[in-house]
């Protein structure tokens, strides 16, 4: 047998027995001691790669060749920049074979990084042994994607993209028009340091919203829209999706509809400067402040629940806690929490100026932790203390709502 020269020039022979042992084990572990690749995993990954390539290439026949799940028509309108699967698990046992996969995709012109979705695949094999995807569903406890609920329709605005299921083309264009007005309004207050474009999801029903957001439907009853961060976006912040509840949204007037979309667009704009240090009264209050700006709505009109409490002598002793913003909580308490945060931000803009309000927001979010974030920003940006700020806010409520 051939040998190799060691560092000291000596030859080291490999015995035939050692070679035979290596050949015997290579099919089990590989001669280097690494587990051999599972051929089935390789074949399934290849099917998923073909599936992704067919979708991106708008090749309906090639897509259908990889399986019958998720009809091509549901996905046809999506403006995709990328779509990939990574097989993370293969389970063979019992009557069916299933696989776990990580789906990563980007919407062209909107997502700077991929959105990630965990999927559960049911696999089948043809008579000649080829794998195919028989079903493609959200993984257990993972949120649904819009195309899981039906055929996705698209409306394009100048600064917005609206993806809907079960909605008319006219309705989707209406959302795009409102979003197109919201983007420059937010840019005027927050500045240009954000993408200045938004993606809206408009599902068919309240139950569908709950599936997209991964929470009980009761959490969103009466909520017109919710902004959620997805995996993707910029390096510091995730891409966002504004998910609209068409039933609750339809109950709003024209001004209310615009306020809601401007509010949610503000969350998209401020995401990079919002952190665990940012209390909800500030993030929600700032979004409401931007939403109501220029509408002519007075505090009495925009804060009816808090107005009622103030007139009854029940002025809040402190700014709301994060728990007061829970959708599943008391509706009156939730309304008062939002109204309290809005009036706190409105007070900052009135007394210190709109620019200082933005600086305050960014300073709080830049703090490494919640503890001390407000105190430091109040001192360095507004030149005050938590006690003085709260007292000024309570006086402001009396003056505006009493």
pLDDT tens digits, 227-273: 987 433 333 444 589 999 999 999 999 999 999 999 999 999 999 99
Closest to 327 measured CA to CA, from 248, 238, 269 = 248
pLDDT above 60 (res 12): no
The top-level CATH class assigned to 144-271 is alpha beta
- Contact indicator for 325, 333 with CB cutoff of 8 Å: no
pLDDT above 90 (res 17): no
pLDDT above 50 (res 16): no
Residue range 39-142 in CATH 3.10.450.50: yes
Q: Which residue has the tokens 């084990």?
A: 25
Higher pLDDT, 11 or 400: 400
- Contact indicator for 359, 345 with CB cutoff of 8 Å: no
Q: How confident is the model at residue 218 (pLDDT cuts 50, 70, 90)?
A: confident
First-to-last alpha carbon distance for the chain, in angstroms, is: 98
Lowest-pLDDT range of 18-27, 86-95, 240-249, 299-308: 18-27
Provide the 10 A C-beta neighbour count for residue 116: 14
* C-alpha span between 370 and 128 (Å, rounded): 60
Closest to 249 measured CA to CA, from 213, 225, 267 = 225
Domain boundaries, the chain: 39-142, 144-271, 274-402
Q: How confident is the model at residue 169 (pLDDT cuts 50, 70, 90)?
A: very high
* C-alpha span between 374 and 363 (Å, rounded): 9
Q: State the average pLDDT for the chain.
A: 89
Dihedral sign of CA atoms 288, 293, 297, 299 in order: positive
Q: Do domains 39-142 and 144-271 have the same CATH topology?
A: no
Torsion over CA of 171, 173, 178 and 184, rounded to 10 degrees? 160
pLDDT above 80 (res 97): yes
- Contact indicator for 97, 85 with CB cutoff of 8 Å: no
pLDDT above 60 (res 14): no
Q: Which residues of 154-191 are buried (b: 16+ CB within 10 A; e: fewer)?
A: bbebebbbbbbbebeeebbeebbbbbbbbbebbbebbe
pLDDT above 90 (res 30): no
């Amino acid at each position: 047998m051939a040998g190799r020269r060691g560092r000291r020039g000596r030859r080291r022979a490999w015995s035939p027995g050692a070679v035979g042992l290596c050949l015997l084990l290579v099919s089990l572990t590989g001669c280097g001691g690494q587990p051999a690749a599972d051929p089935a995993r390789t074949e399934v990954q290849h099917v998923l790669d073909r599936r992704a390539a067919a979708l991106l290439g708008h090749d309906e026949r090639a897509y259908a060749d990889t399986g019958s799940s998720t009809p091509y028509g549901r996905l046809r309108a999506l403006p995709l920049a990328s779509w990939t699967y990574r097989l993370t698990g293969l389970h063979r046992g019992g009557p069916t074979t299933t696989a776990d996969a990580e789906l990563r995709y980007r919407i062209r012109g909107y997502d700077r990084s991929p959105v990630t979705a965990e999927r559960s695949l049911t696999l089948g094999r043809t008579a000649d042994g080829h794998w195919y995807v028989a079903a493609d569903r959200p993984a257990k406890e993972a949120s649904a994607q819009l195309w899981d609920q039906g055929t996705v329709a698209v409306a394009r605005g100048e600064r917005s993209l609206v993806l809907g299921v079960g909605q008319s083309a006219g309705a989707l264009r209406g959302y795009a028009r409102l979003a197109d007005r919201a983007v420059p309004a937010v840019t005027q207050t927050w500045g240009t340091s954000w993408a200045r474009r938004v993606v809206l999801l408009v599902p068919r029903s309240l139950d569908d919203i709950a599936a997209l957001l991964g929470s009980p439907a009761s959490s969103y009853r009466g909520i017109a829209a919710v902004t959620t961060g997805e995996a993707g976006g910029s390096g510091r912040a995730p891409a966002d999706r504004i998910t609209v509840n068409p039933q609750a949204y339809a109950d709003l007037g024209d001004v209310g509809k615009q306020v809601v979309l401007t509010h949610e667009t503000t969350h998209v704009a401020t995401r990079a400067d919002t952190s665990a240090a940012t209390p909800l009264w500030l993030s929600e209050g700032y979004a409401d402040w931007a939403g109501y700006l220029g509408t002519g709505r007075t505090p009495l009109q925009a804060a009816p629940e808090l107005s009622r409490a103030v007139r009854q002598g029940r002025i809040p002793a402190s700014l709301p806690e994060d728990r007061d913003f829970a959708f599943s909580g008391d509706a009156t308490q939730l309304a008062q929490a939002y109204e309290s945060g809005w009036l706190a931000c409105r007070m900052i803009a009135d007394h210190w100026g709109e620019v200082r309000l933005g600086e305050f927001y960014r300073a709080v979010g830049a703090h490494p932790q919640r503890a001390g974030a407000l105190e430091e920003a109040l001192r360095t940006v507004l030149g005050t203390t938590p006690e003085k700020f709260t007292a000024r806010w309570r006086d402001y409520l009396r003056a505006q709502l009493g």
